[in-house]
Structure 1
Amino acid sequence: MATSKKNVDELTYKEASTELELIIRNLESGDMELEESLESYTRGVELLRSLRARLEDAEQKVSVLLKDVDGTDKLVAGEAADTSDRLSF
């Protein structure tokens, strides 16, 4: 991977998820050298952590926005973000 990659925190959510998807496809192809695979895997883990943190932050913000007029929380049932994705060789 080139060292000119943006810092994970500088990427938009869409950019980070697109890059992670590309990394996963490349790792699954099995055509990469060991060093490149390890570097890609490390970058993928960084992207995944960032994406999960952003989802958690968004869920907290939505929870705050759902406060009722009298100040009580209105909890609305919903599905949690899927965190089962894993990077593997």
Structure 2
Amino acid sequence: MVEIIYMKADYEPWWEFEGWEEHILERISFNEENEAQEYLNKKLEEFRGNFPFEKAKGDKYWAFWSVKEQCFCDSCDEDLQIYHGIIWNKLR
């Protein structure tokens, strides 16, 4: 079984900081890996069309962003980049 997770946060998805699951916007499970791969490819293509910047870590994490999408951090007293993260999560 495979999950494709879409999260939106002020950090890249591979950090998986405590509470990262609170930033999940979509979580879809697939019984067949090939179906999950097809969905992932479509999602990555969609995000590549919507965001000018992309960074991947291994074959499990992708982060997309635009410099126009930021949020202000009161405790940091600065603007933070917003990332749209995709996670390939293979379940046992």
Task: Settle same-fold status: TM greater than 0.5.
Answer: no
Q: TM-score, normalised by structure 1?
A: 0.35
Higher relative contact order (CA 8 A, sep 6+): 2
Greater helix share, 1 or 2? 1
Max Rg structure: 1
Q: TM-score, normalised by structure 2?
A: 0.34
Greater strand share, 1 or 2? 2
